[in-house]
Amino acid sequence: VVNTLRKDWFHGNLSGQQSIARLSGHPPGSYLFRFSATDPGSYAITAVNRTGEFSHYRVYHRPTLKYLLGKVEC
């Protein structure tokens, strides 16, 4: 956990709108990783897609279970 908190791409507690504000002006492929504001214990990735629009992805996590991104478990 401590190593994750130190990463440049990890931004802690941000809303989706705050994430968009931080990524505005960044090129496609830019992203940030944050705690999910709507699902405690989970994470969210906000990214700039190929067309310059923003996409949000939730990484679900529950204690003792794997991480889930869409239908992919890891």
The pLDDT tens digits of the residues spanning 27-57 come to: 999 999 999 888 888 899 999 999 999 999 9
Q: What pLDDT is recorded for position 18? A: 95
Tokens representing 26 are 């960044």
- Letter string b/e over residues 22-48, b meaning 16 or more CB atoms within 10 A of that residue's CB: ebeeeeeebbbbbebeeeeebbbbbbb
Q: What is the rounded average pLDDT of the residues 7-16?
A: 91
Min mean pLDDT across 2-6, 9-13, 24-28 is at 2-6
**Helix (H) or strand (E) run with residue 21 in it:** helix 16-23
Residue with the larger pLDDT of the pair 1 and 40:
40
In percent, the amount of the chain with pLDDT more than 70 equals 100
Tokens of 51: 């067309």
